[in-house]
Structures are given as C-alpha cells and as structure tokens.
C-alpha cells in the first residue's frame, strides 16, 4: 500500500478519501457497549486462573528471581 502525503492532496482528493472511509465504516457491524463489556468481562473471568498478572509467577519459573545473594567478606 503506497504512502500518501496528505498535505499534497487537493481538497477534492481529501474529501473523496473521507467519503470512501465513511462508506467502509458504515459496513461495520455495531454492538452495544454494554454487550461488549459483558463479553470482555466473561472472557477475562474464564481465563483468570491462567493470567500471570492476577496469579503471579511461580517462584520456580520466575526468570527474574535472583540466583544467589551477594556476600561481602
């Protein structure tokens, strides 16, 4: 897909691009926000046990765990 410098386009070309974009957006199926939020909530809750941000990293699998302490004699 070629890169278009919008500053070099005429007003007519800009308007045509906007009309084409709006035609594409009109074709999209729209959903109620409340329905989408419920689906996202169910998805998250169904995978909560596997979520590392909720459950945390087990000590034996933590790659950032310090291997050993530093001792100064």
Can you give the pLDDT of all 73 residues of the chain as single tens digits? 678 888 888 999 999 999 999 999 999 999 899 889 999 999 999 999 888 888 888 888 888 877 776 777 7
Segments making up each domain of the chain, as ranges: 11-54
| pLDDT of the residue at 18 | 95
| pLDDT of the residue at 59 | 81
Q: What is the per-residue burial (b if ≥16 Cβ within 10 Å, else e) of 29-58? A: eeeeeeeeeeeeeeeeeeeeeeeeeeeeee
| pLDDT of the residue at 24 | 96
| pLDDT of the residue at 12 | 95
Q: Which two tokens stand for residue 28?
A: 């999209």
Q: Which CATH class is domain 11-54?
A: few secondary structures
């Amino acid at each position: 897909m070629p890169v278009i410098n919008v500053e070099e386009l005429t007003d007519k070309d800009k308007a045509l691009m906007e009309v084409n974009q709006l035609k594409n957006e009109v074709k999209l199926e729209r959903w109620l926000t409340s329905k989408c939020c419920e689906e996202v909530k169910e998805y998250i809750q169904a995978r909560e046990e596997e979520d590392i941000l909720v459950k945390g990293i087990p000590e034996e699998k933590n790659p950032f765990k310090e291997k050993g302490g530093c001792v100064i004699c």
